[in-house]
Amino acid sequence: MGSDENYQLNAKFYDVLDRTYFRKPATSPRNAVISILGDEPLKVLDMCTGTGVNAFAIAGARRNAKVIGIDISAAMLQKAAAKLEQAGLSNVKLLHMDAANLQFLSEEFDVVVMSLVLHEISPELAGKLLAEAGRVLKNAGKLIVVEWEEPVSLVKRIPFYLVKKTEPAGFEDFLKTEMDQYFFRFGFEMTHTIHCDYSKVMVLSKNEHI
């Protein structure tokens, strides 16, 4: 199967997430991300935006924010562009760009968001993405990372089994990773974590001691 076909399948899968795993507003990671942001005029980068779910949620809830969503997949962005036209949001911009080689100035963004990305890629590529996130993030800015988290409840573990079966090799090892140490290696410190349905939202700042 070609890469375009893979991205098309991923686009369909990610749009299903909000109707299944993230459907409860009170425990949705999308709303947790929004809750972290204030009402001030922030400049937000949504790295690997996919079909734009996070970018559009942030832009809709925080009208003072300027949100830029980037992705390397033309298929993902095509679907995101169609959704953006329907949403009618004027504070979102979508760009075709490699997250490992961002075409932005250093310290340009107040917030960088990475949602369900790191478990999909190799440690080497993750290092490149996080290095770029640190470069374009202002010194006092926030990196917000959304990742899967295995539920404690047996009832929730049953649907989470499907996630495990569809994710790449190494996913279960990633779930067991000590995230404080993981991000410290790449120059970030964990500020706090919000535990949501099947996921967690981690808020990080630049490590000034590195």
pLDDT of residue 166: 85
pLDDT score of 9 more than 50: no
Residue 197 sits in which domain range?
Answer: 3-206
Per-residue pLDDT of 72-110, as tens digits, reads: 999 889 999 999 999 999 999 999 999 999 999 999 999
β-strands 92-96, 66-71 pairing? parallel
pLDDT of residue 5: 40
pLDDT of residue 24: 87
pLDDT score of 12 more than 80: no
pLDDT of residue 168: 87
pLDDT of residue 138: 97
pLDDT score of 17 more than 70: no
Mean pLDDT of 31-35: 95
pLDDT of residue 35: 95
CATH number of 160's domain: 3.40.50.150
CA distances 124 to 116, 119, 128, 139, 155, Å, are: 17, 12, 7, 24, 35
- Kindly report the number of other CB atoms within 10 A of residue 1's CB atom: 7
CA distances 152 to 38, 44, 95, 197, 199, Å, are: 31, 32, 38, 10, 11
Closest among 112, 91, 92 to 102, alpha carbons compared = 112
Q: 3-class DSSP state for residue 54? A: helix
Total count of domains within the chain: 1
Per-residue pLDDT of 117-154, as tens digits, reads: 999 999 999 999 999 999 999 999 999 999 999 998 88
Mean pLDDT of 159-172: 89
For the whole model, what pTM was predicted? Answer: 0.91
How far is residue 2's CA from residue 21's CA, in Å, rounded to a whole number?
A: 28
